[in-house]
Amino acid sequence: MAIDLNQPALRQARSLVREGKVVRDERDDWSEAAPNAEDENAFIESAGWTAFSHWHLGIDRSANPETKQAYSFPYGDFRRVHRSGVISGESRAGQYDHTEIENELKKLLDLIDATEG
């Protein structure tokens, strides 16, 4: 299982940050802010799998693209980027040697911290 950087998701995340659609929360807040399975299912039902994929910076191209297993490293709540999600993802990417994703999450965090809220 190789996890690749999901470029469309990265473009969306950067765009949302530039638009100010960011929650400037702390790392520990992600456990409460992260969408739960019910939220994910409702989003998939209303917006579809492509939109769902754009909220995850990791993609397993060997997995069925219409399963949640294909996507990892979520960064937001389907409306806004959460700073806590970016921090959590960066840490997890580092733990599992997903260097490209880790580096892009670090850059995204820098962008969040450089923009005014």
Contacts of 45-51 with CB under 8 Å at 24 or more apart are 47/78
What's the domain count of the chain? Answer: 1
- Structural domain that includes position 8: 3-114
- Dihedral angle, C-alpha 14, 19, 25, 26, nearest 10 °: 30
- In tens digits, the chain (117 residues) has pLDDT values of 699 999 999 999 999 999 999 999 988 899 999 999 999 999 999 999 999 999 999 999 999 999 999 999 999 999 999 999 999 999 999 999 999 999 999 999 999 999 865
Residue with tokens 């996890």: 3
